[in-house]
């Protein structure tokens, strides 16, 4: 009987020490300091912390789980120390915290869906080398914020939203290199923003607003985006960017509606010509009050035809092989010369030196013996100057090895149609 009673009290004690509470409001520093007396390590609901008398959150150490929002509003905290023991929170909202200047401890949180930083006028940077953020980031109206740099867990590939707006001192935005899809992106009203180095693997993008960034000169950070407005047609706005002079979206294939407007210095819109040549609907494009080369669609089509002579949808300025069509832009040796026109595609040779003019780069040539048929001066390993090559056996052909070491035989079928068959390399 004594054993049963002891076990009963142990169970009760454990439940008391690890109790789950409902939504909680803490309206003073005294409320925060007395939080441990509630014996809560998890909250099924929201945690609201509000009041200018609040200057630290250290008493929240030990809190593990909040199913709803953590709202920190109108406080005088300088740091968010005290929340780093959290395993999960739906969102953390930092609102109107004038002394807050350090939120780095949030990086220790197990899983956080949303992070909102709004009107915290003393914070100069939002920098996370790796934060387990799963849904989105929202930074708006932070007067001193100058840099945003966020990398997230490599397993996170989709965000609901990214909004970076009304931050008058923001100069640069970096990171989010793992994200492949974003439902809503807004980068607006950041007067000093000049660098966006982010979204390296972003392929799908829906509602998009890049507007009123008066120091932004280029929108090249969406260079991997293929689809916009899929499956639901949405709007893509790039407007009111005073010194924007270039937009580079070389892979865009589908879109809801394009609005490219009120960018008076914008004279580079060849992505629209590429979009139309891929079958895009020109009726979805609205152009208004841009530079001379980006204001009338017919002018864009004419000027960009000259800028992409090989018609591979890559404007020559960015094309690693501007005279030979190579939309894939493959460059095995990373020497800046596309495989299609590299005279030594497996070994880097950006100078393309070819002393004997045999179309084999010197670094790959190595004095390879040359065989000439009907010529005494062959310029390649095998050169047939005049005549035919006859292959009698239909199953035979020419064997070619790929860069990865696979071999294919090229021949024709009974109808004379070329075919390739993968075989074991000789």
3-state class (DSSP) for residue 273: helix
In the chain, the N- to C-terminal Cα span, in Å, equals 84
| pLDDT value for 180 | 94
Three-class SS state of 139: strand
Residue 102 per-residue DSSP state: B
Rounded CA-CA distance 137/163 in Å is 6
Q: Does residue 231 have a cis peptide bond before it, meaning omega lies within 30 degrees of 0?
A: yes
Q: 99-124: buried (b, 16+ CB within 10 Å) or exposed (e) per residue? A: ebbebbebbebebbbbbbbbbbbebe
d(CA 149, CA 130): 10
Measured between alpha carbons, how far is 56 from 330 in angstroms, rounded to an integer? 54
- In this structure, what token pair is assigned to residue 219? 């929108």
Token pair listed for 14:
């454990």
Strands 407-412 and 418-423: antiparallel
E strand or H helix that includes residue 3: helix 2-17
Angle in degrees, 0-180, between the axes of helices 297-307 and 270-277, rounded to the nearest 10: 90
| β-bridge partners, 254 | 227
Each residue's pLDDT expressed in tens, for the chain with a length of 426 residues: 444 443 334 333 334 455 789 999 999 999 999 999 999 999 999 999 999 999 999 999 999 999 999 999 999 999 999 998 999 999 999 999 999 999 988 988 989 999 999 999 999 999 999 899 999 999 999 999 999 999 998 889 999 999 999 999 999 999 999 999 999 999 999 999 999 999 999 999 989 999 999 999 999 999 888 876 656 657 889 999 999 998 988 888 777 788 999 999 998 888 888 788 777 788 888 999 999 889 988 888 877 777 777 767 677 777 888 888 887 888 888 999 988 888 888 889 999 998 878 778 888 877 666 777 888 777 666 777 777 888 877 778 888 877 666 778 888 877 777 888 777 777
Residue 404: CB atoms within 10 Å: 6
Q: With contact defined as beta carbons under 8 Å apart, do 255 and 236 qualify?
A: yes
pLDDT score, position 233: 59
Task: State whether residue 244 is helix, strand or coil.
Answer: coil
Residues 6+ apart with CB under 8 A from 57: 32, 49, 72, 77, 80, 81, 82, 83
Note the pLDDT of residue 337: 92
Could you tell me if 43 and 23 are in contact, meaning their C-beta atoms sit under 8 angstroms apart?
A: yes
Q: Are 232 and 255 in contact (CB under 8 A)?
A: no
Q: Which residues contact 92 (CB under 8 A, 6 or more apart)?
A: 69, 70, 72, 80, 83, 106, 109, 112, 114, 115, 116
Global pTM reads 0.72
* Other beta carbons less than 10 A from residue 355's beta carbon: 8
pLDDT for position 383: 73
pLDDT of the residue at 8: 39
**Residue positions counted in the chain:** 426
CB 391 within 8 A of CB 399: no
Contact 57, 80 (CB under 8 A): yes
């Amino acid at each position: 009987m004594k054993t049963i009673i002891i076990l009963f009290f142990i169970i009760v004690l454990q439940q008391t020490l690890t109790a789950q509470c409902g939504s909680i409001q803490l309206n003073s520093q005294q409320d925060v300091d007395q939080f441990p007396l509630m014996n809560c390590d998890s909250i099924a609901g929201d945690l609201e912390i509000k009041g200018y008398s609040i200057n630290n959150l250290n008493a929240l150490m030990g809190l593990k789980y909040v199913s709803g929002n953590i709202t920190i509003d109108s406080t005088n905290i300088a740091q968010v120390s005290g929340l780093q023991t959290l395993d999960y929170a739906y969102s953390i909202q930092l609102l109107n915290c004038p002394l807050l200047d350090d939120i780095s401890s949030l990086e220790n949180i197990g899983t956080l869906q949303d992070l909102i930083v709004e009107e915290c006028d003393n914070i100069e940077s939002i920098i996370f080398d790796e934060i387990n953020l799963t849904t989105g980031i929202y930074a708006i109206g932070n007067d001193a914020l100058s840099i945003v740099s966020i990398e997230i867990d490599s397993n996170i590939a989709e965000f609901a939203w990214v909004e970076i707006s009304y931050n008058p001192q923001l100069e640069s935005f970096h990171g989010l290199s793992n994200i492949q899809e974003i439902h809503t992106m807004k980068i607006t009203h950041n007067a000093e923003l000049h660098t966006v180095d982010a979204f390296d693997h972003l392929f799908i993008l829906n509602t998009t607003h890049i507007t009123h960034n008066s120091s932004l000169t280029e929108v090249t950070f969406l260079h991997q985006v293929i689809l916009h407005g899929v499956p639901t047609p949405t709007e893509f706005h790039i407007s009111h960017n005073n010194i924007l002079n270039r937009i580079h979206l070389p892979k865009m294939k589908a879109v809801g509606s394009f609005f490219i407007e009120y960018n008076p210095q914008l004279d580079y819109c060849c992505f629209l010509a590429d979009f139309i040549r891929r079958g895009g609907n020109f009726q979805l494009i609205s152009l208004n009050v841009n530079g001379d080369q980006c204001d009338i669609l017919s002018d864009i089509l004419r000027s960009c035809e000259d800028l992409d002579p090989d018609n591979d949808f890559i404007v020559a300025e960015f094309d690693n092989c501007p005279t030979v069509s190579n939309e894939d832009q493959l460059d095995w040796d990373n020497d800046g010369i596309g495989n299609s026109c590299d005279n030594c595609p497996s070994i880097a040779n950006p100078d393309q030196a070819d002393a004997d003019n045999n179309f084999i780069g010197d670094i790959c040539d190595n004095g390879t013996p040359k065989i000439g048929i009907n010529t005494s001066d062959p310029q390649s390993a095998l050169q047939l100057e005049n005549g035919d090559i006859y292959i009698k056996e239909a199953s035979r052909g020419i064997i070619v090895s790929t860069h990865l070491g696979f071999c294919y035989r090229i021949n024709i079928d009974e109808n004379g149609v070329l075919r390739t068959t993968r075989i074991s390399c000789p």
